[in-house]
Amino acid sequence: MEIFDAVVIGAGAAGLFCAGQAGQRGLRVLLLDHADKVAEKIRISGGGRCNFTNRDLDPRAPHKHFVGQNPQFCRSALSRYTPQDFIALLERHGIAWHEKHKGQLFADRSAEDIIAMLLAECAAGGVTHWQPCSVKNIVFSAPSADGTCAGSYKIDTDRGAVRARSLVVATGGLSIPKIGATDFGYRLAQQFGVPLIERRPGLVPLTFDGAAWAPYAQLAGLALPVEISTGAKKERTTFQEDLLFTHRGLSGPAVLQISSYWEPGAPLSIHLAPGVDLLAALADAKLRSRKLLANVLAQWVPSRLADAWAAQSSDWQRPMAEVPDKALVRLAERLTRWELVPTGSEGYKKAEVTLGGVDTRALSQQTMECKAQPGLYFIGEVVDVTGWLGGYNFQWAWASAVACAQAL
């Protein structure tokens, strides 16, 4: 049976990076993945250009950009491997990049460049790579009582059995099952008694009851900047981003971001004309304009939205001067505090990430090793650490991978 220092399961962002780093420290590393291709999520990320990190990440305040039971857990790893470190690595590999909106960094050419870089890092570390390769069974042999024999893991795969003193689980979350996502990491955690936080889709479009949504379904494809909030007063979360109407509900960065904070059954509140004092603007227009209300409204929101909104009340279908004051107040309130309760989300087939996962209380924040199970490590998205949209999830994958690789 072949013996390795470490076996890394999952050749995605975290697994590839961890394997390469550990190999370059001189360890014998086996990286395996059940899918045909490596890093499918990197390949499809950022519209094919991979939003690989975010310059605005503040490792001293991870709660600003990360969600989970204990966002402070990721502080140590994020401080020791920063966006600047990953940028320096890209530059060593000659990969050009650029900044877009809100600190988000993308590869200039293609996400394939980042995958090629991670594979080159693995090659530089002499990593053995088995793919496709499925794990059938894992058994832990505890260290001998006299200390002469260290603990180790026997990993049975469809390419034979191997043994290693360290086992790194980098199998990611549940989103996009058709490109290889599985619950393997969570099942393995359960096998070793590692607690889990309940999972649900994050960074996901939200859906609404068909009949209630009918007046808005015609707006599918429309995008506009909004301010969106959820949560009770003390824990209110707000984003200012673009909203996208879909046939079944709402999407776009605003909704993807808020979905990670939204509790099923809770309302969302949306300001459809952020930065505009809509009541004052409408009252002023009533004095000056002869146009229909919908045409006036189109100064501050897209005209398709203005038309659809005005169609909801006969009071709103009149020329400005004839709209009763009460109807203007009602309109301003509805557009600036549009309260709606999603019935659900588009689920893992559309979610970018999985919220919840391996309970961080069971892991060392320095190394990602299980406190109660020597030699077993969890890194990347399988852990209950979820970043905002905008490169934060990849930065967590890189940082947790490095924290683990340095400890193997």
Any residues with CB less than 8 A from the CB of 22 and at least 6 apart, and which? 5, 6, 8, 29, 125, 127, 404, 405, 408
CA dist 275 → 226, 258, 281, 289, 339 (Å): 9, 19, 11, 22, 18
Task: Report the nearest approach of ligand FDA to the CB of residue 254 (Å).
Answer: 16
Decide the pairing of beta strands 29-32 and 2-9.
parallel
Pairwise CA distance, residues 228 & 241, whole Å: 8
Q: Pick between residue 191 and residue 313 the one whose CB is nearest to ligand FDA.
A: 191
Any residues with CB less than 8 A from the CB of 275 and at least 6 apart, and which? none
Task: Report the nearest approach of ligand FDA to the CB of residue 3 (Å).
Answer: 20
Task: Report the nearest approach of ligand FDA to the CB of residue 94 (Å).
Answer: 21
Task: Report the nearest approach of ligand FDA to the CB of residue 262 (Å).
Answer: 18
Task: Report the nearest approach of ligand FDA to the CB of residue 210 (Å).
Answer: 26
Task: Report the nearest approach of ligand FDA to the CB of residue 188 (Å).
Answer: 9
Task: Report the nearest approach of ligand FDA to the CB of residue 140 (Å).
Answer: 18
Pairwise CA distance, residues 163 & 166, whole Å: 9
Q: Which residue is nearest to ligand FDA (CB)?
A: 12
Tokens of 268: 């969302």
Helices marked H in 57-140 — which ranges? 75-80, 83-92, 111-124
Q: Pick between residue 33 and residue 227 the one whose CB is nearest to ligand FDA.
A: 33
311 HSE (CA, 13 A, CB side): 11
Q: Pick between residue 335 and residue 368 the one whose CB is nearest to ligand FDA.
A: 368
The one-character DSSP state at 367 is T
Q: Pick between residue 51 and residue 152 the one whose CB is nearest to ligand FDA.
A: 51
Question: What is the three-class DSSP state of 62?
Answer: helix
Tokens of 287: 């004095």
Q: Pick between residue 213 and residue 392 the one whose CB is nearest to ligand FDA.
A: 392
Q: Pick between residue 186 and residue 316 the one whose CB is nearest to ligand FDA.
A: 186
Token look-up 């004052």 returns 280
Tokens of 154: 């026997």
Task: Report the nearest approach of ligand FDA to the CB of residue 309 (Å).
Answer: 32
Q: What are the two backbone dihedrals, phi and then psi, of residue 164, each rounded to the nearest 5 degrees?
A: -155, 150
In what helix (H) or strand (E) does residue 269 lie, and over which residues does it extend?
A: strand 268-271
Amino acid at the residue 165: R
Token look-up 């967590």 returns 396
DSSP secondary structure string for all residues of 152-200: EEEEEEBTEEEEEEEEEE----SS-GGGT--SHHHHHHHHTT--EEEEE
In what helix (H) or strand (E) does residue 249 lie, and over which residues does it extend?
A: strand 249-251
Task: Report the nearest approach of ligand FDA to the CB of residue 113 (Å).
Answer: 14
Residue ranges in contact with ligand FDA by CB under 6 A: 9-15, 33-35, 41, 44-46, 50-51, 134-135, 170-172, 175-176, 180-182, 184, 352-353, 380-382, 391-394, 397
Task: Report the nearest approach of ligand FDA to the CB of residue 287 (Å).
Answer: 48
Q: Pick between residue 10 and residue 71 the one whose CB is nearest to ligand FDA.
A: 10
Q: Pick between residue 177 and residue 215 the one whose CB is nearest to ligand FDA.
A: 177
Q: Pick between residue 187 and residue 236 the one whose CB is nearest to ligand FDA.
A: 187
State CA 122 to chain mean position distance.
25
The answer to whether residues 194 and 358 touch, using CB atoms and an 8 Å cutoff, is yes
